[in-house]
Amino acid sequence: MEKRNERQVILFPLPLQGCINPILQLAKILFSRGFSITIIHTRFNAPESSNHPLFTFLQIPDGLSETETQSRDVLLQLTLLNNNCENPFRECLAKLIKPNSDSGTEEGRISCLIDDSGWVFTQDVAESFSLPRFVLCAYKFSFFLGHLLVPQLRREGFLPFPDSEAEDLVPVFPPLRKKDLSRIMGTTAQSEPLDSYLHKILETTKPASGLIVMSCEELDQDSLATSNKVFTFPIFPIGPSHIHDVPASSSSLFEPDQSCIPWLDKHETRSVIYVSLGSIVTLSESEFLEIACGLRNTNQSFLWVVRPGSVHGKDWIESLPLGFMESLEGKGKIVRWAPQLDVLAHKATGGFLTHNGWNSTLESICEGVPMICLPFVWDQLLNARFITDVWRIGIHLEGRIERREIERAVIRLMAELEGEEIQERIQVLKDEDLCIIWIESFNGEE
């Protein structure tokens, strides 16, 4: 570990699992380069500070009620958090800055603030303290640029479209299809708050000191090349942050079931399909049963993450038919949460049925694990199109949660020539130089 350079970086994660992971991984990279790390975070979905004993964690109130924390309306949660957190954040930052300014020394001086693009008040706060702000983009960069066009597309009457055009590409948002775009843009009732929020993201990102992107040239070449049409500041594509040589520690909001690994140890190379739909996706009971029956019918070994409460109206897996697990004869294991990086890196894992969040997508590529794509919302839809239509390293279920479709996709990936060809292509992509280090020259100043 390098010596502390007595410079401090403040990081402020958005309290969603997909946003907490990359910002804590970035914190570990910065710490390994000598920076002191302070994490300001909300009470809602607070990261586990004991997993990061070398960081300073400061919690601020977020004003969310118990009902609001349980809401499935993520846009509502983000709106409330932005409304409620500005003053507590400002007060917390002021307490950190004042002792350093009073001392008049370099020791402990704050280099910059790094926060998620979903915080839309932090630019004004940073400017009030003359503090450089760097924005972390937790999405694939092409999605980040594209999703800012949603208000414009809505104004131009891009939706609705005839059924005959559902498979057509969206010219300004490739390789997205029109049917995908309709899911991203949401319902008419959601249009005004979503468009307003996206406009604020754009307007509060433009004045920042830079944008840190969890991607690289190999995965985002076109969008990185054209980014100067939107932003005038530097963009730092640092690659998949989890593969940097830094000490491992968990940033999961859920407790992983470590019994996954000895279970995988008993299986042959690339013989297990790993199934996880992330930290937000919820299923109806019928969808849950279709996945269960589809996996069972493959006669393929599977490790399935079923998050408690992820099936509507159920605590966990009590909807499974009587004798279901016994009928698998040891070929299936269901857990509440898994140590995903370890699972994907395990030699027994041969495929990943995923919701295609950007973190999961990057982790799968970096471990050379081909994917079956079942995207539900937001950037997952674009990520899945890149996986299947551009990089050709997976199979798309096209939203069909049906046992025969799932059975067929798993068999195609795990037991047929098509799967071998997909495996070869993802291995080529894995072997690309996906890691672009910028920290060595980073000093957090304009």
Grouped pLDDT means (10 residues each) for the chain, 446 residues? 69 91 91 92 92 94 93 91 97 86 60 96 97 94 91 84 89 91 82 92 95 86 85 87 54 84 96 94 95 95 95 93 91 95 96 96 95 96 96 96 97 96 94 54 43
423 belongs to a structural domain = no
Spatial separation of the C-alpha atoms in residues 264 and 332, rounded to whole Å: 11
DSSP 308-338: TT-BTT-SSSTTSPTTHHHHTTTSEEEES--
Does residue 172 sit in the same domain as residue 280? no
What pLDDT was estimated at residue 221? 83
Do 45 and 157 sit in the same domain of this protein?
A: yes
Domain of 174 in residue numbering reads as 7-251+435-441
Angle between helices 17-32 and 358-366 (to 10 degrees): 50
Residues 236 and 338 placed together within one structural domain of the fold: no
Task: Note whether residue 420 is domain-resident.
Answer: no
pLDDT of residue 436: 43
Question: Is 317 found in the same domain as 229?
Answer: no
pTM of the model: 0.90
Q: At 105, which CATH number?
A: 3.40.50.2000
pLDDT at residue 100, rounded to an integer:
61
Pair 228, 271 in one domain: no
Residues 131 and 269 both lie in one domain: no
232 and 281 both lie in a single domain: no
What the block records as the tokens of 174 is 């490739």
H-type alpha helices, 119-170: 122-128, 141-147, 150-155
Query: What pLDDT score was predicted for residue 7?
Result: 86
* CA angle (187 as vertex; 182, 189 as ends), nearest 5: 155
Which pair of structure tokens corresponds to residue 422?
């997909």
Residues 216 and 281 placed together within one structural domain of the fold = no
Co-location of 234 and 316 in the same domain = no
Q: How far apart are CA 407 and CA 292, in angstroms?
A: 10
Structure tokens that stand for 281 in this block: 């996706």
Burial category of 247 from C-beta neighbours within 10 Å (exposed 0-12, middle 13-18, buried 19 and up): exposed
Q: Is there a single domain that holds both residue 149 and residue 40?
A: yes
- The total number of structural domains that make up the chain: 2
Q: Which residues contact 137 (CB under 8 A, 6 or more apart)?
A: 117, 144, 211, 212, 213, 214, 215
Q: Note whether residue 425 is domain-resident.
A: no
Q: Is 295 found in the same domain as 215? A: no
Based on the fold, state whether residues 244 and 346 are members of the same structural domain: no
- Catalogue the E-assigned strands of 281-439: 301-305, 332-335, 349-354, 371-373, 394-396
